[in-house]
Amino acid sequence: MGVTESVVVTGGSGFIGRAVVRALRAAGLPVVVVDRTAFPARDPGVRSVVGDLADPEIRSTAVAEGSAGIVHLAAITSVLRSIDHPAETFHTNVVLTHELLELARRRNVPRFFLASTNAVVGDIGQDVIREDVPLYPLTPYGATKAAAEALLWGYGGAYGMSNAVLRFTNVYGPGMEAKDSFVPRLMRAAIADEGVEVYGDGKQRRDLVHCADVAAGLVQAWRHGFTGTAILGSGRSNTVLEIIDAVREVTAAPLPVRHVPAKSGEMPAVIVDISRARAEFGYRPTMTLVEGLATVWAEFAPAKAD
């Protein structure tokens, strides 16, 4: 396949992006990665375009005429950062998504996959989140992802693009060392023999899905020609306290808990139905929570040994 038949992956050097690129390559698809840092692995089937998506020249270099499609992973994904920097979040998550869609339209790129989030539905309590739940985001992060989804459908309807929204739950896995989300914070606390802060009573439920499962699901959706919206999660929800117990099991660290008030926009539960992804393109997450956390700890553990 030539370079113009490549799948363009924005944010392909990030921890989810690396898993997605590896899965695309395992499926025999050539890839163009566009990210602020070069793709770390040497692979003749991967071309890196290094730079900021805000730069029109970077976008133009990455998205060639006749590209097979775009997998748009690059985004501001931190809820707390979106609350502190709403304008930056809007520009990154909405404006740049529009710029990529417009470039895809002009260059006859037929497919666009958007990585989204179940935060677009807001707080529905303990109810199960399905793809048809009305959108009612409660944070700039969720709102910008909902806006990006709407743009995707607008371009699909007007220009005949075959588009898909994949709403990820809480993704974790190898390559999270620099992140400040809950799993790496727990790993760093285990290394330092420190405790961990828990918002509220710790009984809020989360669906943690391993990046390898997400990557496999995305490639399955791509190869099946999926269009529409699908949730990619593990299909299993655990309380925050149960997640801490699983990290204790993996790390053998005590991880004492200190409860602090919940932050604004904190959802009491993320319980998802992944049956559409199962039915439409054979999505089958396989990684258990303890198995997945062990893959993360394997990267953090050497620091504890030192």
Class of domain 3-171+209-232: alpha beta
Q: Which of 182, 227, 2 is nearest to 80 (CA)?
A: 182
What is the percent of the chain with per-residue pLDDT over 90, rounded to a whole number?
Answer: 90
pLDDT band, very low/low/confident/very high, at 21 (cuts 50, 70, 90) = very high
**Which of the following CATH numbers is that of domain 173-206+236-305: 3.20.20.70, 3.40.50.10490, 3.90.25.10, 3.30.420.240?**
3.90.25.10
- The pair of three-digit structure tokens given for residue 55, joined into one six-digit string: 């730069």
What is the percent of the chain with per-residue pLDDT over 70, rounded to a whole number?
Answer: 96
Contact residues for 279 (Cβ-Cβ < 8 A; gap 6+)? none
Q: Span 124-134, mean pLDDT?
A: 95
For the stretch 168-196, pLDDT in tens is: 999 999 999 888 889 999 999 999 999 99
φ, ψ for residue 169, nearest 5 deg: -85, -150
pLDDT at residue 2, rounded to an integer: 44
Contact residues for 106 (Cβ-Cβ < 8 A; gap 6+)? none
pLDDT at residue 263, rounded to an integer: 72
* pLDDT over threshold 70, residue 141: yes
pLDDT at residue 86, rounded to an integer: 97
Q: Span 112-139, mean pLDDT?
A: 96
* pLDDT over threshold 60, residue 100: yes
The pTM (predicted TM-score) of the whole model is 0.94
- Give the type of residue at 244: I
3-171+209-232 and 173-206+236-305 have identical folds: no
Instruction: Name the H helices within the chain.
Output: 15-26, 56-62, 79-84, 86-90, 96-106, 140-159, 182-192, 211-223, 240-251, 275-281, 289-305
Per-position DSSP letters for 27-94, written without gaps between them: TT--EEEEESS--SS--TTEEEEES-TTSHHHHHHHS-TT--EEEE--S---HHHHHH-HHHHHIIII
Contact at 8 Å (CB) between 15 and 174? yes
Q: Span 197-224, mean pLDDT?
A: 96
For the stretch 222-257, pLDDT in tens is: 999 999 999 999 999 999 999 999 999 999 999 999
* pLDDT over threshold 60, residue 298: yes
Instruction: Give, for 116, the enclosing helix (H) or strand (E).
Output: strand 111-117
φ, ψ for residue 209, nearest 5 deg: -125, 135
Where are the chain's structural domains?
A: 3-171+209-232, 173-206+236-305
**Scanning the structure block, which residue is given the tokens 């071309």?**
47
